[in-house]
């Protein structure tokens, strides 16, 4: 009887809980055999050890480099560094990280069959930490297949092959833990995060998908963090390969914009539902952006139909477009979306400094809710703060505990607009505030000039006690 009750209960459970079918995993044995011949070990000789900051403010990439332990060569003035790379063409072109070959007097590549070859650095790019090497093989070499990192999905299996701690041809496997990681390595941060074991010496090695295609270049780790590694997406690298091969360096496209992130206060001031997009704080002229009709205060939502969630996304997407080609921008202006085509060209020189002029002195305070002491632009204030703006009102002090104190405003900043209303002096700003019946209850946006830089500041209203 007990057996019958148990069987009935088990049947009920089986009906309630859906079965999960787990298929066969990737064939890592086959993949390892096929892929290892295209992975190389890289050693470099340098005059001095790498200079690594020890002030506790290192980026994740600095911490990764700190774990590279050089070994003494026969020449006591030289030190050996080890890294990884992979062959991208049968005639001996190899990709690796730039930091693997930085300051190298000599670069040696060791292939999977144990042969060593001297190599030259064809080109490198500091911003993506990529280097292209070339050596002369005696025979045709196996090369990797390049995949599409844009199609990579979180949870997908990946395989890393490299030279961790000098242990040649080490294979590790894991999954894609996240995409689009920003770790502070540079303006084009867009790392693939993986829990495939990556250690010092893996740097520059390939990250493969289960089709045997390279989808990333292993670049950095979180120190003291197990199972957290980062790889540069291969699509970002293939976009610059022609320039590396032919020019030895990379020239990226330029729109002629200054952009900034959208804070929650700015999102409220612009009446946005979220903080996605890149806020245009200045448009250089002449520039492709000016020709395309962009203005400060525009919010770029998409670039070639790809969503721009943060300003790093826009920088990265622009960098991937070959010079001379055009892109379509989806822009939000005063609540309405529109599209414009912009040409991607080589960077122009720095934007010219704005002319200077003096206005009669006038000092006053903005309403206490904002918490600003203001003054017109005078010669003493120009000299004190290095003011370049030709009009506007100068922030001379900020009241502690006020709404402005919660923003990034600083004395010497010049306010040019209040909620898109141009202000030429302090009186015009105070008038604009007095006409804004809702400033006590909603965020306001200010267009600010600091030196040659223009940016927006959102000031959220301070909560009153009865708001609690």
Give the pLDDT mean for 21-28: 71
Given this chain, do its domains 28-135 and 257-343 carry the same CATH topology?
no
* pLDDT band at 43; cut points 50, 70, 90: very high
* pLDDT band at 21; cut points 50, 70, 90: very low
* pLDDT band at 439; cut points 50, 70, 90: low
**Cis amide linkage into residue 286, ω under 30° from 0:** yes
Give the pLDDT mean for 262-274: 87
Q: Give the C-alpha separation, 298 to 308, whole Å.
A: 13
Nearest partner of 98 among 61, 149, 71, 135, judged by Cα: 61
Out of 96-110, 237-251, 391-405, 452-466, which region has the weakest mean confidence (pLDDT)? 452-466
Residue 353: the pLDDT is: 35
Residue 59 above 50 pLDDT?
Answer: no
Residue corresponding to tokens 């055999």: 33
- What tens digit of pLDDT does each residue of 124-166 get? 998 899 999 999 988 888 999 999 999 999 999 999 999 888 8
Encoding tokens for residue 299? 């919010």
Average pLDDT of the chain to the nearest whole number: 80
Residue 419: the pLDDT is: 86
What is the dotted CATH code of the domain comprising 257-343?
2.30.42.10
Residue 306 above 80 pLDDT?
Answer: yes
Q: Phi and psi of 195, rounded to 5°?
A: -100, 5
Structure-model confidence comparison of residues 306 and 442, the more confident one: 306
Q: Compute CA distances 115 → 26, 85, 101, 136, 137, whole Å.
A: 30, 15, 19, 12, 9
Encoding tokens for residue 353? 């400094």
Cα 405–Cα 440–Cα 368 angle in degrees, nearest 5 = 50
Consecutive H or E run containing 150:
none
Residue 103: the pLDDT is: 86
Give the pLDDT mean for 62-89: 62
Cα 213–Cα 217–Cα 219 angle in degrees, nearest 5 = 155
Out of 155-159, 182-186, 266-270, 457-461, which region has the weakest mean confidence (pLDDT)? 182-186
Residue 466 above 90 pLDDT?
Answer: no
* pLDDT band at 53; cut points 50, 70, 90: very low
Give the pLDDT mean for 283-306: 91
- What tens digit of pLDDT does each residue of 208-229 get? 999 999 999 999 887 666 778 9
Strands 157-162 and 191-194: unpaired
Ranges of each domain in the chain: 28-135, 146-234, 257-343, 363-465
Length of the chain: 468
Residue 22 above 70 pLDDT?
Answer: no
Residue 313: the pLDDT is: 86
Q: Give the C-alpha separation, 154 to 71, whole Å.
A: 38
Q: Compute CA distances 198 → 126, 214, 217, 433, whole Å.
A: 21, 16, 11, 56
Residue 48: the pLDDT is: 55
Residue 463: the pLDDT is: 47
Q: Give the C-alpha separation, 317 to 266, whole Å.
A: 24
- What tens digit of pLDDT does each residue of 27-38 get? 999 999 999 999
Residue 406 above 60 pLDDT?
Answer: yes
Structure-model confidence comparison of residues 274 and 47, the more confident one: 274
Q: Compute CA distances 82 → 226, 316, 367, whole Å.
A: 21, 29, 62
- The verdict on domain 28-135 having CATH code 3.40.50.300 is no
- Cα torsion for 408, 181, 40, 250, to the nearest 10°? -50
Residue 350: the pLDDT is: 46
274: which residues sit within 8 A by CB, 6+ positions away?
267
Residue corresponding to tokens 């600003």: 372
Sign of CA dihedral 392, 393, 398, 399: negative
What is the dotted CATH code of the domain comprising 146-234?
2.40.10.10
Q: Compute CA distances 58 → 61, 160, 222, 357, whole Å.
A: 8, 25, 11, 43
Structure-model confidence comparison of residues 429 and 301, the more confident one: 301
* pLDDT band at 398; cut points 50, 70, 90: confident
* pLDDT band at 429; cut points 50, 70, 90: confident
**Cis amide linkage into residue 387, ω under 30° from 0:** no
Nearest partner of 259 among 289, 229, 225, judged by Cα: 289
Residue 68 above 70 pLDDT?
Answer: no
- 157 exposed, middle or buried (CB, 10 Å; 0-12, 13-18, 19+)? middle
Q: Compute CA distances 401 → 207, 372, 462, whole Å.
A: 50, 11, 9
Q: Give the C-alpha separation, 124 to 216, whole Å.
A: 17
CATH architecture group of domain 363-465: Roll (2.30)
Residue 362: the pLDDT is: 42
- 308 exposed, middle or buried (CB, 10 Å; 0-12, 13-18, 19+)? buried
Encoding tokens for residue 433? 């505030």
Strands 79-89 and 93-96: antiparallel
- Cα torsion for 347, 348, 349, 352, to the nearest 10°? -130
Residues annotated as catalytic (active site), given as ranges: 99, 129, 203
- What tens digit of pLDDT does each residue of 341-371 get? 999 988 755 443 333 333 334 445 555 557 7
């Amino acid at each position: 009887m007990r057996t019958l009750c148990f069987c009935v209960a088990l049947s009920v459970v089986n009906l309630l809980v859906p079965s999960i079918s787990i298929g066969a995993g990737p064939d890592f044995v086959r993949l390892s055999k096929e892929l290892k011949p295209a992975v190389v070990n890289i050693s470099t000789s340098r005059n001095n050890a790498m200079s690594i900051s020890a002030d506790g403010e290192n980026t994740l990439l600095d911490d990764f480099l700190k774990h590279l332990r050089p070994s003494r060569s026969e020449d006591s003035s030289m030190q050996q560094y080890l890294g990884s790379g992979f062959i991208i063409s049968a005639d001996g072109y190899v990709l690796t990280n730039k930091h693997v070959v930085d300051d190298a007097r000599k670069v040696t590549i060791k292939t999977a069959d144990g042969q060593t070859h001297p190599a030259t650095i064809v080109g490198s790019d500091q911003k993506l930490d990529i280097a292209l090497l070339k050596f002369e093989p005696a025979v045709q070499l196996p090369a990797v297949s390049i995949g599409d990192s844009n199609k990579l999905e979180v949870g997908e299996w990946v395989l890393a092959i490299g030279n961790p701690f000098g242990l040649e041809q080490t294979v590790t496997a894991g999954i894609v833990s996240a995409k689009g990681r920003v770790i502070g390595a540079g303006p084009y941060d867009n790392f693939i995060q993986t829990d495939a074991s990556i250690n010092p010496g893996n740097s520059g090695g390939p990250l493969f998908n289960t089709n045997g295609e390279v989808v990333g270049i292993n670049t950095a780790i979180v120190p003291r963090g197990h199972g957290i590694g980062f790889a540069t997406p291969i699509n970002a690298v293939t976009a610059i390969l022609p320039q590396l091969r032919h020019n030895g360096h990379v020239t990226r496209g330029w729109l002629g914009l200054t952009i900034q992130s959208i804070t929650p206060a700015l999102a409220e001031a612009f009446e946005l539902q979220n903080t996605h997009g890149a806020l245009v704080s200045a448009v250089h002229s002449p520039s492709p952006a000016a020709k395309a009709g962009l203005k400060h205060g525009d919010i770029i939502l998409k670039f070639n139909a790809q969503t721009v969630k943060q300003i790093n996304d826009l920088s990265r997407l622009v960098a991937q477009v070959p010079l001379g080609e055009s892109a379509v921008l989806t822009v939000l202006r005063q609540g309405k979306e529109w599209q414009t085509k912009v040409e991607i060209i080589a960077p122009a020189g720095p934007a010219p400094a704005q002319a200077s002029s003096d206005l009669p002195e006038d000092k006053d305070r903005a309403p206490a809710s904002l918490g600003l002491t203001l003054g017109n632009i005078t010669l003493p204030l120009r000299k004190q703060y290095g003011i370049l703006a030709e009009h506007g009102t100068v922030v001379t002090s900020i009241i502690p505990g006020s709404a402005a104190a919660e923003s990034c405003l600083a004395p010497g900043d010049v306010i040019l607009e209040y909620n898109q209303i141009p202000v030429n002096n302090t009186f015009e700003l105070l008038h604009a505030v007095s006409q804004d019946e809702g400033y006590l209850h909603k965020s306001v946006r200010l267009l600010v000039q600091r030196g040659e830089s223009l940016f927006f500041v959102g000031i959220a209203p301070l909560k009153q006690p009865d708001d609690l």
